């Protein structure tokens, strides 16, 4: 757990793991990869229908048919978590490296039954303590942004809450959590792994797997509204900052990096291959697949201005190195090679599930 900083009123901190492995490559390929297989019950060997099969935090996935079979294609390449999720069974995770040179992947998966203690929904819904916990959970899990306010958890009753010895709110769900983001036009299937948040509301942690499905717009006006909202959410995001840093286009992307909130500009230097290996040590096997390395020795502030308007039209965030070396690696798509290498404070700490876009989202040309 990372201690919250008592620096400026707007500073909060959060460590978020989306449960995706460190990507070696992440891109789209001209030739799609085919992913197929069968899912059966571990004990009986019977095929399991309606199992969710997906590449975590993307729009790529499907459900098994009546014979337990699944098949879907994707143009993505890189390291991913292939998730098999089914109510009443333990979630099965397979690490998958999608290569542009190998376009067929077959899986035969056995899911292990998991006993679930069912509660009367009416009892839970009328439980005042549970309701208070859910409101707190929703606040921290979805966030407090304009997009979060238009997001809804459709099946809140599947979530159980308790407080640990330190008073932190903890949550777990034996069934997937279904979220609809009306502002961005996505349905999100979430398999929650872990959630904990302290009473102060300043520090927390959550980990989950997710599959995004684009909603069908009712008309062209709604489609354009979603497209604009997605672009606006992405342009101010941490992911776009990383991609802009990777492409050396921070200024053109309206980001400024400062030594303090109102301090002088600083430059985050790209490291050479020898420096990356010297600083990272033996854990850095290779950076020949498009990865770039950077280092920060002190916390740095990032200012994002949406336009030429007033100071109110800007967002202030801060990135803090979580390792003594200060090293972090970025993939070509704008993702951290190691999600735990940096901590986010300020505006980006509030960009939670309500602001999430799938990893395969990209700006329109």
Residue 182 confidence (pLDDT) above 80: yes
Given this model, what pLDDT does residue 6 score?
28
The predicted model gives 201-209 an average pLDDT of: 85
Confidence band of 304 (pLDDT split at 50, 70, 90) = very high
Question: Of 20-24, 61-65, 222-226, 293-297, which gets the smallest average pLDDT?
Answer: 20-24
Is residue 192 within 8 Å of residue 141, measured between CB atoms?
no
Given this model, what pLDDT does residue 350 score?
85
Given this model, what pLDDT does residue 338 score?
79
Instruction: Tell me which residue of 310, 305, 352 sits closest to 148, measured CA to CA.
Output: 352
The predicted model gives 346-365 an average pLDDT of: 87
Residue 211 confidence (pLDDT) above 50: yes
Question: Of 29-33, 36-40, 163-167, 260-264, which gets the smallest average pLDDT?
Answer: 29-33
* Distance of alpha carbon 322 from alpha carbon 324, whole angstroms: 7
Residue 11 confidence (pLDDT) above 50: no
Residue 272 confidence (pLDDT) above 50: yes
Query: Half-sphere exposure of residue 73, counting CA atoms within 13 Å on the CB side?
Result: 11
Does the predicted model carry a pTM greater than 0.75?
yes
Contacts 24+ apart (CB under 8 A), 130-135: 130/161, 133/161, 133/169, 133/171, 134/159, 134/161
């Amino acid at each position: 757990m990372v201690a919250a900083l008592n620096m400026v009123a707007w500073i909060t901190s959060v460590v978020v793991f989306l449960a995706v492995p460190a990507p070696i490559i992440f891109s789209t390929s001209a030739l799609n990869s085919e992913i197929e297989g069968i899912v059966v019950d571990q004990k009986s060997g019977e095929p399991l229908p309606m199992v969710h099969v997906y590449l975590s935090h993307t729009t790529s996935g499907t459900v098994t048919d009546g014979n337990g079979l699944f098949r879907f294609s994707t143009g993505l390449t890189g390291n991913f978590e292939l998730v098999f999720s089914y109510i009443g069974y333990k979630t099965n995770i397979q690490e998958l490296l999608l290569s542009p040179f190998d376009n067929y992947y077959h899986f035969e998966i056995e899911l292990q039954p998991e006993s679930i203690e069912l509660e009367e929904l009416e009892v839970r819904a009328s439980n005042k303590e549970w309701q208070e916990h859910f409101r707190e959970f929703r606040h921290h899990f979805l966030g407090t942004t304009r997009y979060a306010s238009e997001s809804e958890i459709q099946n809140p009753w599947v979530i159980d809450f308790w407080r640990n010895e330190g008073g932190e709110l903890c949550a777990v769900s034996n069934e997937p959590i279904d979220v609809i983001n009306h502002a961005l036009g996505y349905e999100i299937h979430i398999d929650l792994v872990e959630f904990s948040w302290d009473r102060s509301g300043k520090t927390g942690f959550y980990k989950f797997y997710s599959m995004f499905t684009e909603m069908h717009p009712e008309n062209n006006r709604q489609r354009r509204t979603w497209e604009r909202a997605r672009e606006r959410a992405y342009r101010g995001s941490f992911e776009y900052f990383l991609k802009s840093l990777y492409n050396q286009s921070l200024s053109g992307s309206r980001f400024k990096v400062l030594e303090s909130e109102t301090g002088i500009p600083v430059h985050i230097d790209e490291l050479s291959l020898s420096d990356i290996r010297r600083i990272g040590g033996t854990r850095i096997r290779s950076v020949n697949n498009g990865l770039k390395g950077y280092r920060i020795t002190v916390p740095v502030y990032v200012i994002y201005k949406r336009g030429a308007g007033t100071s109110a039209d800007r967002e202030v965030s801060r990135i803090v190195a979580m390792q003594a070396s200060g090293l972090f690696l970025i993939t070509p798509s704008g993702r951290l090679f190691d999600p735990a290498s940096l901590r986010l404070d300020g505006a980006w700490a509030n960009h939670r599930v309500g602001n999430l876009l799938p990893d395969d989202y990209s700006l329109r040309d």
